[in-house]
A and B are shown apart, each in its own frame.
Chain A
Amino acid sequence: GENVEQHPSTLSVQEGDSAVIKCTYSDSASNYFPWYKQELGKRPQLIIDIRSNVGEKKDQRIAVTLNKTAKHFSLHITETQPEDSAVYFCAARGDKIIFGKGTRLHILP
């Protein structure tokens, strides 16, 4: 079946440094790629998304890049802050949305 791979599963970054999370997808019909942030015990919150007709999108410290040919997309967080600590999920939507397994991001003081 269709699949979304997400790496790494855990990421520790010094406060102020950048964090990068990568995802690959298998369904070539996927055309929408959201990223969600989930804090402990809370609901996933959409932080940024990108559609297949765009290669890059930025929103303040967060950016997402998409390479449709290679079927991978990445989340970039710059100038990381303690409140960025959470689990991040990528997803790809073709006929249906499929989530990656998540990346637990730790921002070290």
Chain B
Amino acid sequence: GAVVSQHPSWVICKSGTSVKIECRSLDFQATTMFWYRQFPKQSLMLMATSNEGSKATYEQGVEKDKFLINHASLTLSTLTVTSAHPEDSSFYICSASSPRSNQETQYFGPGTRLLVL
């Protein structure tokens, strides 16, 4: 149980285009999902906390107009990188809390590797 999927697993796009990444909880309902960014050989940087049915809470320094987050259902959250530029190239990982683990444990998706040319 507590499986989280992400799609796509990797994407290459031209500078200026927008990219949407989906995060799904497959066998549980996640009221809260988290979006992280990870640079090579570095730690997980929390970008935003996504709550179903409400606006996401963004961490300091993360542009909400640049990284649009939607959490329309209890099993799906999306991250859209708008007008992507090469500096947005990174590994983006989502996670979700499972109600079976007191909402504390986070289960991670497999990540999406974004390369902006």
Q: Are A99 and B43 also in contact (CB < 8 A) when A42-B110, A43-B93, A43-B110 are?
A: yes
How many residue pairs at the A-B interface have CB separations less than 8 Å? 40
Q: How far is the CA of A40 from the CA of B109 in the complex (A)?
A: 14
The interface on chain A, measured as residues whose beta carbon lies within 8 A of the other chain's beta carbons, has a size of 20
Q: Are A99 and B104 also in contact (CB < 8 A) when A43-B109, A43-B111 are?
A: no
The interface on chain B, measured as residues whose beta carbon lies within 8 A of the other chain's beta carbons, has a size of 17
B107 within 8 A of A: yes
* Most chain B CB atoms below 10 A, which of A1, A45, A96, A104: A96
CB distance from B27 to the nearest CB of A (A): 16
Q: How far is the CA of A34 from the CA of B97 in the complex (A)?
A: 13
Task: For the complex of A and B, list the 5 residue pairs with the smallest distance between their C-beta atoms, beginning with the closest.
Answer: A43-B108, A101-B43, A99-B44, A32-B104, A43-B110
